[in-house]
Structure 1
Amino acid sequence: MGKRKFKEEEQVDSNSEGNISETCFSDNDEYLENSNDGESQTKQDDETVQVVGDFSKESKELQLESAKDFEDYEKKKFSAVDFTESTMKAIEDMKFEYMTQVQARCIPPALTGRDILGAAKTGSGKTLAFLLPAVELLSRTKFKPRNGTGVIIITPTRELALQIFSVAKELFKYHNQTFGVVMGGANRRGEAEKLTKGVSLLVATPGRLLDHLQNTKGFLFKNLQMLIIDEADRILEVGFEQEMKQILNILPKERQTMLFSATQTTKVEDLARLSLKRAPLYINVDENKEAATNDKLEQGYVVCPSEQRFLLLFTFLKKNLKKKVIVFFSSCNSVKYHAELLNYIDIPVLELHGKQKQTKRTSTFFEFINAEKGILLCTDVAARGLDIPAVDWIIQYDPPDDPREYIHRVGRTARGENASGKALLFLLPSELGFLRFLKNAKVPLNEYQFPTNKIANVQIQLEKLISKNFYLNKSAKDGYRSYLLAYASHGLKKIFNVNQLDLQQVAKAFGFTVPPTVQLTIGASCKDKIYKGAKKAKMTGKEHYVKQKNNKGSDNRQWK
């Protein structure tokens, strides 16, 4: 497909994409490594491994202890903690000097063997808060490959697993322990071979971990010393509750456990009760803060009618080509369409969504991480936990499902205690009620206004392009349909009411003069009805369900 640009606009610099990261990954054993650059360690004769710390007996009830005793560790240097020399050298190489609040409160008690239930705002630095104690445990117990796996870290998505793995790689630089990651989409046979040889620290997604626990002979996990569950609320949200229960039943009960969750829901409490057995320490660094997001994050919203949504997005991206921008969409098909369209008209963008093969997702992820500038279009696959450096803008083009999702999306910028960033939420006039929910969730937003005369008027050219280009036309139809599907499945139906959408105007944002045919079911017992063109541009009826599989919902389980 050839490229073109809209005539009214200036030509865009096409070199805004970054280079693919020079990772340590290869096709077969890409995510399973041994850190052999470090110092030699004393031989261990016994196959079993000593446990660090003294613990109380198991308790059926989850009894939490406050972390007040450890509050005086805040604003301390890493050098104030009794790390091994190898770990301290790695921290210095990573240019870290001061601990964040969650690190200062988690690391000291974790080093003594305490179980921890942590609640921290996204971007708070919790990855190091659990990785450093894990690395220290393996180092101090002189854990060897023949001992099997000593630490397991469970995380909801492949991208987050890769990110934790990359941080672990840096921390293990001067250690001799092995480390790796297992996840859906990777070479299972290669993973199994490495596991049988011994992987001291293992990062895993729930589905693939359960698969190996049940089916990989020679996977030695009886010496497990520490279990870390990261983004527990997200793990449960995407449907891994049963897998987690099975995993907890299989793993040894005598272990140290650390569980982190941005929100404390009933399901998270149940999971904590099952996994935390040793009078856990509760650490919440955000409980006394007035805002649920970073204080240095500038947040705003813009009220934009459906027919002008793409025009405003197009104008915004044209003016911010030298910035690092993430744009969130509600479905894979919508990401694909907008990526194809923008790249075709010489606005270079990257795309990240669940319909991509794992190799493509991985290369795109690292390419954007290492880019100084660029635009990434994505679904919520990138909204949780990922640490993408120096993101200038977070654009929520399609509405989040609830305030929690909003918070996790904007958490991709202003990460860290001194970082800053900006976030912009697109809202239709009918969606302004969502602001009340955000206010109740302690999310402060200001209204941004864009003068109409400053918005690029390329609607006619867009419609001509979509009508003449077969591939873009098909992609636009898929994106339009998936947008309606996602909208119809929104959790806050009183605000995001698919019945109130003007399909004629929605279709214009996708480049159509007449809305494409969409097959919908009205109510549970009614017959299918097909909405065609302007005659049915306004949907009527009590409730609408689209027959085809919900693309937004189908993203939920794709990361295992």
Structure 2
Amino acid sequence: MSFSDLGLSSPLIQAIEAHKYVQPSPIQQRAIPAVLAGKDVLGIAQTGSGKTAGFVLPILQLLQSRKPAKGRSVKILVLVPTRELAIQIQDVIRAFGSRLPRQVRSLAVYGGVSINPQMIKMNGTDVLVATPGRLLDLVDNKAVQLSEVEMLVLDEADKMLNLGFKQEVDRIFGLLPQKRQNLLFSATVSGEVEALVSRLLSDPVTMRQEEETSVPDLIDQLAYAVEAARKGPLLRYLLQHEDMQQVLVFASSIRTADNIAGKLLKHGVQAAALHGDKSQGARTDALTKFKAGRLRVLVATDLASRGIDIQFLPHVINYELPRSPKDYVHRIGRTGRAASPGKAITFVTPEDAHHFKIIQKKMGKQVEMIQTDMLDLHGY
């Protein structure tokens, strides 16, 4: 099946081809026609399933036949749990909407930055992508009206609830009109998410991409057995000897992420840390430079990494193992996308060995383990 089979217009097809998307993912195949038909949608899928394009593409098409927004009454609202995800979705809207006859005005709003510029830009916004807290700040400042919303999208609903946004989300629902189209996407279905589904969705088209415990064949996995004290030198050794130019490194804590990035900088490697303690300006700057290839290494925690969506990311390194096999697959799934091969490397200390065996068993795949005891890391 191709994108042209899904009812999308020629200008959108051209935009899709320009971004080298070959064929729709399973969730896109079902979501796009459903959204175009005005149906509610429930999508259960992990990051990397293509769900963002699954709702952005039909939204862009629907807006082509509608008059541009006026004033501060938003027609399409996308609620997200994090600033990075808000920025990512706006980037997708802009990328696919750049070639359309009717330009779509989108705005991403989130906390951690001044509210005034967001208030000024609100006028005439077609698609508002917002975190719950900042959206309510804008409502309280009378900068936005939600009484005319025609479509509500909840992305990563499970994460939104886990981060404690339930009260804010409930208040937002009370500001919306009863009659509207609702799209809900979530990686998991907890009791709270099920309650949200029952409350919001009417006879939804449901699509479910089961939790990933397998890894695409395009991802070449390697593991390095290494003592904890030698992880830093090993990372710098691999960067140099493998000539890695765009590398996403995962750390399990903010402190470790800062330490890794700091030591890389001291060794002349352009690197930055991405985590929740960074200012929004620093996070946006790091992501922009990394996506553009001007930053060689980005060291991220799991939560902050949710805003990273790079089509052709060549390298992912697990400096530390994640807590679960699901998170491991989630991490390395950042590479090997869009029919482009990638390499995932994992550092395994003696203390990690048992946990890594469990991860491999869940994946159903044995990862080649390279011993580093005899590797000369002096000077790295």
Structures share fold, TM-score greater than 0.5: yes
Conserved 8 A contact 2:88-2:309: yes
Distance 2:272 2:328 in 1: 21
Unaligned stretches of 5+ residues in structure 1 = 1-74, 463-560
- TM-score of the superposition, structure 2-length normalised? 0.89
**1:154-193 to 2 correspondences below 5 Å:** 154-173=79-98, 174=100, 175-193=102-120
1:308 — aligned with what?
Answer: 230
Shift of 1:218: 4.8
The one-letter code sitting in structure 2 at the alignment partner of 1:457 is: H
Residue 206 of structure 2 corresponds to residue 282 of structure 1: yes
1:424 — aligned with what?
Answer: 345
Of residues 293, 297, 303, the one that matches 1:375 is 297
Conserved 8 A contact 2:269-2:296: no
Residue 187 of structure 2 corresponds to residue 262 of structure 1: yes
The one-letter code sitting in structure 2 at the alignment partner of 1:428 is: T
Distance 1:443 1:206 in 2: 39
Shift of 1:353: 2.3
**1:223-234 to 2 correspondences below 5 Å:** 223-234=148-159
Shift of 1:424: 2.2
Deviation by residue 1:66-100 (Cα, 9 ceiling, x = unmatched): xxxxxxxxx2x222333345544543544445322
Deviation by residue 1:270-302 (Cα, 9 ceiling, x = unmatched): 3323332x1111112447x8x443332223433
Residue 34 of structure 2 corresponds to residue 109 of structure 1: yes
Q: 1:259 to 1:444 in 2, by over 3 A?
A: farther
1:212 — aligned with what?
Answer: 138
Distance 1:339 1:189 in 2: 33
Deviation by residue 1:465-519 (Cα, 9 ceiling, x = unmatched): xxxxxxxxxxxxxxxxxxxxxxxxxxxxxxxxxxxxxxxxxxxxxxxxxxxxxxx
1:28 — aligned with what?
Answer: none
Of residues 337, 362, 370, the one that matches 2:284 is 362
> How many residues are paired up?
378
Conserved 8 A contact 1:106-1:116: yes
Distance 1:440 1:254 in 2: 47
Distance 2:196 2:173 in 1: 9
1:532 — aligned with what?
Answer: none
3-state DSSP class of the match of 2:309? coil
Shift of 1:436: 5.3
The one-letter code sitting in structure 1 at the alignment partner of 2:206 is: Y
Q: 1:302 to 1:274 in 2, by over 3 A?
A: farther
**1:28-427 to 2 correspondences below 5 Å:** 75=1, 77-84=2-9, 86-146=11-71, 148-173=73-98, 174=100, 175-195=102-122, 197-213=123-139, 215-276=140-201, 278-286=202-210, 291-371=213-293, 374-384=296-306, 386-416=308-338, 418-427=339-348
Q: 1:306 to 1:177 in 2, by over 3 A?
A: closer
Shift of 1:258: 1.2
- TM-score of the superposition, structure 1-length normalised? 0.62
Distance 2:148 2:205 in 1: 23
Q: 1:95 to 1:330 in 2, by over 3 A?
A: closer
Conserved 8 A contact 1:325-1:392: yes
Distance 1:161 1:118 in 2: 18
Conserved 8 A contact 1:315-1:455: no
1:485 — aligned with what?
Answer: none
The one-letter code sitting in structure 1 at the alignment partner of 2:40 is: D
Distance 1:168 1:344 in 2: 38
Identity %: 33
Conserved 8 A contact 2:148-2:176: no
Shift of 1:226: 1.0
Conserved 8 A contact 1:318-1:347: no
Shift of 1:128: 1.0
Conserved 8 A contact 1:138-1:150: no
| Cα RMSD after superposing both structures | 2.6
3-state DSSP class of the match of 1:118? strand
Conserved 8 A contact 2:313-2:335: yes
Conserved 8 A contact 2:232-2:260: no
Conserved 8 A contact 1:102-1:129: yes
Unaligned stretches of 5+ residues in structure 2 = none
The one-letter code sitting in structure 2 at the alignment partner of 1:433 is: H
Shift of 1:121: 4.0
Shift of 1:398: 2.0
Shift of 1:445: 4.3
Q: Which has the higher Rg, Structure 1 or Structure 2?
A: 1
Runs of 4+ residues over 6 Å off in structure 1: none
The one-letter code sitting in structure 2 at the alignment partner of 1:108 is: P
Distance 1:86 1:186 in 2: 35
Conserved 8 A contact 1:120-1:284: yes
Q: 1:115 to 1:293 in 2, by over 3 A?
A: farther
Deviation by residue 1:32-53 (Cα, 9 ceiling, x = unmatched): xxxxxxxxxxxxxxxxxxxxxx
Q: 1:298 to 1:262 in 2, by over 3 A?
A: farther
Q: 1:180 to 1:261 in 2, by over 3 A?
A: same
3-state DSSP class of the match of 1:364? helix
